[in-house]
Structure 1
Amino acid sequence: MTQNILLAPKAGFCMGVSLALKKLDKAILDNPNCKIYTLGPIIHNPQVLKQYEQKGVKIGDDKTHFQPGDIVLIRAHGIPFGLEQNLKQKQIKIIDATCPKVKKAQLLIQEQSKKRVLLLYGEKNHPEVKGLLSYAQNQIILFESLQELLNLQLNSNLEYVLAAQTTQDQNEFYQIQDYLKRQNISFIALNTICNATEERQKEAIELAKKVDFMIVVGGKISGNTRRLAKVVSKYAPYLHIETSLELDLNELSKYSTIGITAGASTPQEIIDEVILKLKK
């Protein structure tokens, strides 16, 4: 029987996700007769996306033929620079819900890559990364891990600017900087990892050290949730779930203390359902 359930303080929606969803909710309320699109999934959580689909919100992309009067919301991950410029030329209403931390990263990369090669630590197929890369003004080198960077040939005669996807592993980002210094690579490092991401990962690690088992709640396609699972896996056995339906209570009953953390795109009601099921 589970004796104790501990929840990480910062589990659930981050500031950027909350802002994006508030903007979408307001657009739905204020424009009952308009077609509303998000450019790609507004956040990486299937349950939230289903709720908005039921409200009539459609998911569009760069190939969607928007009609005059349509409302198009730029999601929290941001979009490529060229796509945003193309949208502004159409007779549609654009609502920019890009996370402020992502927008800051885009602008920093745009400014600092003018005379430097961009080294970007991020997931190749992630929508935020595609947007960040579009702001680069020079050559680009994209890598997903320190291990991948070790296999790349960098030119010690060039100037580099190092940046990261906002939800990347902060500790690995520090390790990357240490490696570049040891290789005598000339670079400047941009502070683009969201502090909320760093704090959430630290909390998850500290919690994992105290418990017998960790549960990570959030979308399987959510990059920041997958990284939470990765960091806690070093300290405790864990399970990454999207909803409480995936819990095996018989299996979990052998653990006396269970810790719970959740990704930045995980709604509070899903976290509450997990806790309630464990308590039952």
Structure 2
Amino acid sequence: MKVILAETAGFCMGVSLALKKLDRAVRKGGATICTLGPIIHNPQVLEHYEKLGVKRIQSPAEVEPDTVVVIRAHGIPQDVELELKKHGVVVVDATCPKVKKAQLLIERQAERGRTLLLYGEENHPEVKGLLSYAKDDAEVFDSLEELQGHINENQEYFLAAQTTQDRGVFEQIRDYAKQQSNLKLPVLETICDATKVRQHEAVEVAKRVDKMVVVGGYQSGNTRRLAQVVREQGVDCIHVETAEELNPEDFADCSLVGLTAGASTHDITIDEVRAALEGMSSRADH
């Protein structure tokens, strides 16, 4: 069976930078190293760092003396970061630069008294961090339908999105929000270009194949959305974390399969999935 691998599959810039900072801390040694929450949403990568002795904590209250705390790529809420620093530990900020930029842009608009309209997953750690910069004055929604009916035409708003959201949907939300408001609506460009390119390429590959496979953590928002945009093209799509999850029966009628991966998926995992797919025989091969 032949496999078309998307060029953009795998680590994005933000994930690569975060892991480089964690690697640097591990190499330096001399202190307990921990991350506040998972550094990225990928179980295989997290297991690798656990074997290197990197611990994971869920709140600043768990911090022990003489600890280096690495802030996850998704970022953390402002109050959590301030609490961390009060403990006197060494803090390494591995927040993705795109997320950090979104945080600061949101803070600037919130300081002008505007209410944030945020397109994103309410329980996602990145979104929780972004909301903290809005001074608790925000509306969160994950679809146009959820936003409809919630805009006060005479209230000052500004619009932003979680960095890994679908740009096409965001543009529909932008157009709707502008129609509903009588006031100027600043629109922040917070969706990462890498997300747009990755989704566009996944769609283009999907048009050429019998079936698509998306590789990445089940907790990874950008990976789930890759699978979603492919399915919206009417193409069958299978989301797996590892090659072991692939079922040959699912590809019995396929001669050409597309493969892409989320922004937190390691090249090793992608290569393993590709090799497993290429090793399968379709009915067309017989």
Q: Please indicate, yes or no, whether the TM-score normalized by the shorter chain is above 0.5.
A: yes
Aligned to 1:48: 45
Report how far residue 246 of structure 1 moved. Answer: 0.9
> Equivalent residue for 1:103?
100
Cα distance, 1:148 vs structure 2? 0.7
* Distance (whole Å) between structure 2 residues aligned to residue 271 and residue 65 of structure 1: 34
Q: Which residue of 2 aligns with 1:86?
A: 83
Amino acid at match of 1:66: V
What fraction of aligned residue pairs are identical, expressed as a percent? 56
Q: For 1:76-107, what per-residue CA distance to the aligned partner results, in whole angstroms no more than 9, with x for missing partners?
A: 00000011112122221110000000000000
What is the distance in 2 between the residues matched to 1:44 and 1:15? Answer: 15
Structure 1: 4+ residue segments shifted above 4 A: none
**What SS does the corresponding residue of 1:210 show, helix, strand or coil?**
coil
CA RMSD of aligned residues (A): 1.2
Partner Cα distance (2:67, 2:23) in 1: 16
Q: CA deviation at 1:128?
A: 0.4
> How far 1:63 moved relative to its partner?
4.8
Contact 1:38–1:75, Cα closer than 8 Å, also in 2: yes
In structure 1, what residue type is equivalent to 2:256? T
| 1:77 equivalenced with 2:81 (yes/no) | no
Which residue in 1 is equivalent to 2:12?
14
- Displacement of 1:185 in angstroms is 4.8
8 Å Cα contact 1:13-1:266 kept in structure 2: yes
Verify the 8 A CA contact 2:10 2:267 in the aligned structure 1.
yes
- Write out aligned runs for 1:213-224 (5 A): 213-224=211-222
The aligned length equals 276
For the residues of structure 2 that align with 1:238 and 1:217, how far apart are their CA atoms?
Answer: 11
Residue 259 of structure 1 is matched in structure 2 by 258
- Where do 1:187-206 residues align within 5 Å? 187-206=185-204
Is the CA contact (8 Å cut-off) linking 1:67 and 1:91 kept in structure 2? no
Q: State how far apart, in whole Å, the 2-side matches of 1:47 and 1:172 are.
A: 31
* Distance of 2:139 and 2:250 partners within structure 1: 44
Equivalent residue for 2:224?
Answer: 226
TM-score, with length taken from structure 1:
0.96
Q: Aligned equivalents of 1:70 and 1:53: distance in 2?
A: 16
What amino acid does structure 2 have at the position aligned with 1:79? I
Residue type at the aligned position of 1:225: T
Distance 2:162 2:210 in 1: 31
The offset of 1:181, in angstroms, is: 2.6
Residue 276 in 1 paired to residue 246 in 2? no
- The AA in structure 1 aligned to 2:257 is I
8 A contact 1:167–1:223 mirrored in 2: yes
Contact 1:74-1:95 within 8 A present in 2 as well: yes
Report what 1:35 is aligned to. 32
The 10-residue stretch of structure 1 (80-89 or 122-131) with the greater mean CA deviation from structure 2: 80-89
Q: Which runs of 5+ in 2 are unaligned?
A: 280-286
Are the aligned partners of 2:151 and 2:181 in contact in 1 as well (CA < 8 Å)?
no
Deviation, 1:43, is 0.4
The amino acid across from 1:50 in the alignment is E
Task: Give the corresponding residue for 1:120.
Answer: 118
- For the residue of structure 1 that corresponds to 2:207, the secondary structure is helix
CA contact (8 A) 1:217 1:225 kept: yes
Shift of 1:259: 0.3
> Is 1:59 matched up with 2:44?
no
